[in-house]
A and B are shown apart, each in its own frame.
Chain A
């Protein structure tokens, strides 16, 4: 198969334009983590017109709740969680400038529409390969919502994090295309 595409954060519009569903990507740079509760808090701040703990422009949110780090490791095993639980929040975040999210599983039509409208991308990390993904994480620190434990917002430095493009800015969907191609 084709060579994986190397990308570095923050992502630019031209990065997004060349990505197509099914492409394999190796991502490096700073990314942020957040799950259900962090998303709810972000949206509450946005509704009140208050500042978010992170500037979303060009950034990436990874849906992950890691295991506790063993001594000598920056983080524990840290694979993706299922994305649909964040679907109701994601369009607003793309509108605020979020470039991409990383999770697993299908997104809603509203999220796909937002990715198209705001030129974003949805990356899928392989579920259940959390020890492998842990090896791509070079550092990790909690930057907001420490009270949420594994669900706190972290800033992570990653090198060559292996991903697959799930939804691209052309409106493509890897899950639909896969079934079309391989379904009998």
Chain B
């Protein structure tokens, strides 16, 4: 049993909020560099120049890479031998988000009510918090500032088993085609297959946040589908920002879960080229 003060959780989250908004993970930078080399469209190349110049300015001056500093999404793995002390865990996470967004000059985008008042909570809380209990005595915190533009380009379809893998692929490719430049391509495509309605959407989010970017599903058959979908999506010609080109997606990740005999849900979640996330372990 290891004791961890929730105050330490709050401090860690605050730091993650700032760092994730100023600097991209190395694997995302590497994927963008590779995509830039392959791009043939002039206007697409110009977009890549802007992307890399932006990264440099944001890192040097500690400015948010994107003005949309996102919904605060946290995927937390809580070791079952950890004893959290000194206050409510969820409150501590939200305290961290509040501090990070305030001190880091990040945009606060959350509203109290989704339909009626739309008044801003002014501190970007409440965060979207997912917790998994895992073996061990550590707390692993992944923070993702998830932009509204790409999150809006999400979909779920309760498909039938009879639709097969061809149906899954068609659903994904058609959706990406229609989304065009809206999700700020080149994007990361996360696909959840199986489970229930809620589980499937969660799998899509897990998929979009898979690290390193471009790594594959452990089942070779799904890994093959990831490769085929990436190729098909990059053949659409949408290109950086939708201006035309070879790079529409940086990677396609599929997460799967067993499904009910009558069901085959498929969910799709995208991340923009500013595919921000940062992890800390306490």
Contacts and interface: CB of A to CB of B under 8 A. Distances in A.
A142 interface: no
A143 interface: no
A183 interface: yes
A24 B107 contact: no
A177 B207 CA distance: 31
Nearest to A84: B182
A66 B149 contact: no
B50 A67 contact: no
A127 B107 contact: no
Contact of A179 (B40, B51, B109, B236): B236
Interface stretch (B52-60, B76-84, B192-200, B218-226): B52-60
A34 interface: no
Contact of A105 (B47, B242, B274): B242
A180 B238 CA distance: 9
Contact of A149 (B42, B120, B242, B245): B120
Interface in B173-214: 180-182, 184
A184 interface: yes
Interface string A57-90: 0000000111111100000111101101000000
Contacts of B181: 104-106, 124, 175
Contacts of A130: 54, 63-67
B206 to A, nearest CB: 22
A164 B243 contact: yes
Interface residues of B, number: 48
B149 A104 contact: yes
Contacts of A132: 50, 53-54, 57
B251 to A, nearest CB: 17
Contact of A76 (B64, B180, B182, B272): B64
A81 B61 CA distance: 22
Which of B40, B67, B69, B182 has its CB near the most chain A CB atoms (within 10 A)? Answer: B67
B67 A65 contact: yes
A78 B67 contact: yes
B65 A164 contact: no
B242 A106 contact: yes
B25 interface: no
Contacts of A79: 66-68
A155 B236 CA distance: 38
A184 B235 contact: yes
B184 A128 contact: yes
B41 A127 contact: no
A129 interface: yes
Given A77-B67, A104-B181, A131 B149 contact: no
Contacts of A106: 180-182, 242
A179 B241 contact: no
A67 B182 CA distance: 20
A149 B65 CA distance: 20
A22 interface: yes
A78 to B, nearest CB: 5
A126 B105 CA distance: 22
Given A82-B152, A128-B184, A65 B107 contact: yes
B273 interface: yes
B235 A128 contact: no
A178 B244 contact: yes
A76 B43 CA distance: 26
A141 to B, nearest CB: 18
A131 B43 contact: no
Given A128-B273, A178-B245, A179-B244, A76 B152 contact: no
Q: Which of A106, A126, A175 has the most CB of B within 10 A?
A: A126
Interface in A44-66: 64-66
Contacts of B61: 131
A181 B244 contact: yes
Nearest to A183: B237
B239 interface: yes
A106 B109 CA distance: 23
17 contacts: A70-B62, A84-B182, A104-B184, A105-B242, A128-B66, A128-B147, A128-B273, A130-B54, A131-B61, A178-B43, A178-B238, A178-B243, A179-B244, A182-B237, A182-B239, A182-B245, A184-B237
Given A175-B238, A179-B237, A182-B246, 5 more contacts: A1-B45, A130-B65, A131-B61, A175-B243, A181-B244
